[in-house]
A and B are shown apart, each in its own frame.
Chain A
Amino acid sequence: MLVSIVMTLVAASTPLLLAALGELVAEKAGVLNLGVEGMMLCGAVAGFSVAFSTGSTGAGVVAAAGAGIAAAMIFAVLALSLMANQVATGLALTIFGIGASSLVGAGFVGRTVERLGPVFPAALSQHPLLRIVFGHDILVYLSLALVAGVSFVLSRTRAGLILRAVGENDASAHAIGYPVVAIRYGAVAFGGALAGLAGACFSLALTPMWADRLTAGRGWIALALVVFSAWKPGRLLIGAYLFGAVMTLELQAKAAGVAWLAPEVLAMTPYLATIAVLTMMSLGRRTGRLDAPACLGKPFSAS
């Protein structure tokens, strides 16, 4: 049973981790994209429709990332090239994503596809104990590899340094010759790809079907996780799994009949955990500042 709980926990955490990691990179470059939920839905519906039409779940995963990038580009043109307000544009992207995914998905309601299966051979992935390590789908391993990759690139490479410079001080980065807007385009596209993959977690792995608003607000949790992590990939990994754990254990506790706690209290626990961690983090620094990139959300114009 414990193995099964851990499997559920990992599966529930993965979309949060993917979407939040993508947003983290965009925010590190100074772009606040609140359209995560919309990009996730675009990815979810594209992943499902392609997997359904081609019969290949792998093609669905690729399409989901592509659709996430396409949605992110709408945001990028408006917010980066035309310098629209990033908050408003991000919210608009979410509403657009909800509507567009519903329109595209209308023909797929009631259909199912093959679930995104484990990547390792059955001897490992079906093993009663080893499946805790080997029993997951490709998106789980990909998300973990991406955390390591993003962490490495941001902290150890020149490319990461430039990305952070653009987010911390766009004017200086521009003055010494870096193409601020182009770099931000790249970061937003990366965020879109990961949000699209997070959407694929829903429509291909967790609940292999298409239904309207399949993600049910997880994009907002991903946004909160970026703040929660203080823009650090390692902490984001812990945060996403903590959130996944609280969500899973809440349901497990109810199923096990923990009667002394009201169901409403259990339903609050993920949010109580967020408040508790944010409070602790703020107390830990005398300034109470959470290390947000200095240029986060500000439009930049080279002229």
Chain B
Amino acid sequence: MTSIITRRRLTFGAAAASTLPVLGRTASAQAPLGVGFIYVGPIGDHGYSWTHDQGRLALEKEYGAKIKTSFIENVAEGPDAARALRQLAQAGNQLIFATSFGFMNPTIQVAKQFPKVKFEHATGYMRAENVATYDARFYEGRAVIGTIAGHMSKSGQAGYVASFPIPEVVMGINAFHLAARKVNPNFKTRVVWVSSWYDPAKEADAAKALIDQGADMITQHTDSPAPLQAAEQRGVYAFGQASDMRAFAPRAHLTAIVDDWSGYYIKRVREVMDGTWKSGAVWGGIKDGFVKLAPYNETMTAEARKAADAVKDAIVAGTLHPFTGELKDQKGEVRLKAGETASDEMLSKMDWYVDGIQA
């Protein structure tokens, strides 16, 4: 029912005129470049949509009056998204970022109707002449927090509050679990699907259910800080999602996987201005600055810190790939032979769990 009554807030970013006196003339002679965004959640979620909006704000800071940004939040994945995208294209935006996996088909569809408008779709795999895709290797961050969980967990059991079983989420669960298993071979990861990206009360209850079942580490792939609050209340550890969430759970919050889209957004807007924009696919990780880790909690042991940093450094150096064989799935079938690393194609279609995950 709520998806029908989505809120439409079309906000035009304040154009801070004449912040660049030298370029001011050229900028005012030309109409500012319209850059539109659609978000799946509210920008106030302090999670996924919020971090994309931080990217939009970074654009405004970078380009000032040379661009005009607008966004529509709480866009349901499906036909609503097509309507929102069309609205942004008709409003004269030349570059439009569709920031959620479920916007994929609507983006391709609307892009056909507006061949001159450039589209960027986050976390998808369908491209066109005027549709590029971009994504972040969150699984690299999840390998780091999995390592921390392996070191910090006393019960050897983590709870995973998950949204929907799409490759992105499955990949994250696997990366977390594999990293924890490297530290503790008996490590268990239990998954609860809440069938929502954003439902704070349900996310919190899912975290409590996992804690009741013996998990002393809570991690999540949903967008609100509610699981962290549940962890704080129950005295277990947890990891933030998408942004530094330590304000919500100062004791429980060990670190967070922080999304940072601003670098990519700034680069792509510059390319549109220069006329060098091309469709393509970008999948950036820790090394590219797409994925960052929030400061570690003081309570984290020196050993856990060291191990986490080592994993992070090895990923940046290219000496460690979180998905390296031998890897078996839940049924015992070998998916990756010893020494083999997963291809990007394999990752982007991942629909199986590694051995030992309870989902």
Contact = CB atoms under 8 A, between A and B. Distances in A.
Q: Do A and B come from one complex?
A: yes
Interface size range on A against B:
35 or more
A295 interface: no
Interface in A245-259: 247-248, 251-252, 254-257, 259
A207 B224 contact: yes
Given A213-B74, A257-B358, A105 B44 contact: yes
Contacts of B147: none
Chain A contact residues: helix, strand, loop or mixed? helix
B193 A263 contact: yes
Nearest to B165: A263
B19 interface: no
B190 A211 contact: no
Nearest to A3: B212
Contact of B213 (A12, A215, A256): A256
A109 B202 contact: no
Contacts of B196: 216
A67 to B, nearest CB: 18
Interface stretch (A55-63, A94-102, A136-144, A230-238): A94-102
Interface stretch (A24-32, A110-118, A169-177, A185-193): A110-118
Given A211-B45, A213-B74, A248 B205 contact: yes
Given A99-B7, A209-B229, A109 B44 contact: yes
A82 B350 CA distance: 57
Contacts of B199: 216-217
Interface in A47-98: 91, 94-95, 98
Contacts of A228: none
Nearest to B50: A109
A217 B200 contact: no
B141 interface: no
B201 to A, nearest CB: 5
A95 B213 CA distance: 39
B7 A255 contact: no
B205 A209 contact: no
Contacts of A112: 229, 247-248
A220 B195 CA distance: 18
Chain B contact residues: helix, strand, loop or mixed? mixed
A138 B213 CA distance: 28
B2 A216 contact: yes
Given A112-B247, A252-B209, A106 B44 contact: yes
Given A202-B201, A216-B200, A220-B1, A211 B209 contact: no
A212 B205 contact: no
B247 A4 contact: no
A264 B359 CA distance: 12
Nearest to B223: A211
Contact of A8 (B9, B50, B208): B208
A12 B205 contact: yes
B193 A213 contact: no
Given A4-B212, A109-B46, A213 B2 contact: yes
Contact of B210 (A106, A115, A255): A255
A1 interface: yes
Given A109-B44, A264-B195, A207 B2 contact: no
Contacts of B41: 212
B173 to A, nearest CB: 13
B44 A251 contact: no
B167 to A, nearest CB: 16
A255 B213 contact: yes
Interface in B162-216: 165, 190-196, 198-202, 204-206, 208-210, 212-213, 215
B212 A206 contact: no
A131 interface: no
Nearest to A224: B1
B184 to A, nearest CB: 19
A19 B337 CA distance: 56
B205 A247 contact: yes
B194 to A, nearest CB: 7
Contact of B195 (A5, A106, A217, A267): A267
A195 interface: no
A139 B196 CA distance: 27
A5 B212 contact: yes
Contacts of A8: 205, 208-209, 212
Contacts of A208: 229
A259 B330 CA distance: 12
A207 B226 contact: yes
Nearest to A217: B2
A165 B201 CA distance: 38
Contacts of A115: 233
Interface string B148-163: 0000000000010000
B148 to A, nearest CB: 21
Contacts of A210: 44
B193 A102 contact: no
A208 B229 CA distance: 8
Nearest to B213: A255
A220 B210 CA distance: 27
Given A115-B233, A206-B201, A256-B213, A211 B42 contact: yes
B8 to A, nearest CB: 9
6 contacts: A8-B208, A206-B200, A206-B226, A207-B200, A251-B205, A252-B212
Interface of B: 1-2, 5, 7, 9, 41-46, 50, 74, 159, 165, 190-196, 198-202, 204-206, 208-210, 212-213, 215, 224-226, 229, 233, 247-248, 358
Task: Please provide the 4 A-B residue pairs with the shortest distance between their CB atoms, ordered closest to farther.
Answer: A212-B42, A212-B44, A255-B209, A217-B2
